[in-house]
Amino acid sequence: MSKWLQAVLFDFDGTLTRPGSLDFNTIRRAVKCPAGIPILEHIETLATDEPRKRAIRILEQYELEAAKRSQPNAGAEDLIVFLKSLQLKLGILTRNSLNSVSVALMNFSRVQESDFNAIITRHDPARPKPHPESVLLAASRLGVAPDKILVVGDYVFDIEAGQQAGAQTVFLHTSATTRLPDPPADYTIKVLNELKAIFGPSIEL
């Protein structure tokens, strides 16, 4: 790992939490989202305020239900504790609502919301992943240059956003992976604890 690393920015669902809590196919059907279009982008295309508000209500209902039953991903809490011991700044970058993140974090036993220096959600003033704007906003709130951030996620949008923002990236490849990033991430891991090996003894904080 390069000596200049100062922060780690995590995707949330499927990365810090176990994959599978949020059923995207069910949500897509509920908001009548066509194939090939991401859910948030579909909602933005709806013609008037009322259909958009209805779709957001449906989305947030599913997110909240998923958050209540979500569990920390394997190794997630150990990794957060480890990274905090290195005095790295930590952030979360998600296309979900802040409320769903807060609720899901209540299921963690060793990690809480205050452990993260920045939490960027779809309610923040930045276009969501895969647009790099959300990573750049996180960098600003963390007080760290984008090229000093490591972006970690389990979906191509995470990697694309990090790459376009100039950050280094880590792809979490799991049994739930449906698409590989192209170009590939700087690092690929299969479990979160593998991320520890990326941090060499030469890291300078």
Residue 113 CB-density burial (10 A; 0-12 exposed, 13-18 middle, 19+ buried): middle
CA distances from 40 to 57, 114, 123, 128, 182 (A): 12, 27, 12, 9, 22
Quote the pLDDT of residue 51. Answer: 87
Summarised one tens digit per residue, pLDDT across range 139-152 is 999 999 999 999 99
Q: Which long-range contacts (C-beta less than 8 Å, at least 24 apart) are formed by 25-30?
A: 26/62, 27/58, 27/59, 27/62, 30/58, 30/62
Residue 174 pLDDT exceeds 50: yes
Quote the pLDDT of residue 200. Answer: 62
Residue 205 pLDDT exceeds 90: no
105-117: average pLDDT:
97
pLDDT band at 195 (very low <50, low <70, confident <90, very high): very high
Residue 94 DSSP class: -
Quote the pLDDT of residue 202. Answer: 42
Summarised one tens digit per residue, pLDDT across range 63-85 is 999 999 999 999 999 999 999 99
Rounded CA-CA distance 24/171 in Å is 20
Quote the pLDDT of residue 21. Answer: 79
Structural domains for the chain: 7-18+71-198 (3.40.50.1000), 24-69 (no CATH)
Quote the pLDDT of residue 204. Answer: 41
Summarised one tens digit per residue, pLDDT across range 126-140 is 999 999 999 999 999
178 vs 18: which has the higher pLDDT: 18
**Could you tell me which residues come within 8 angstroms of residue 92 by beta carbon, excluding any fewer than 6 positions away?**
9, 10, 11, 12, 16, 101, 116, 118, 119, 120
Q: Which amino acid is at 19?
A: P
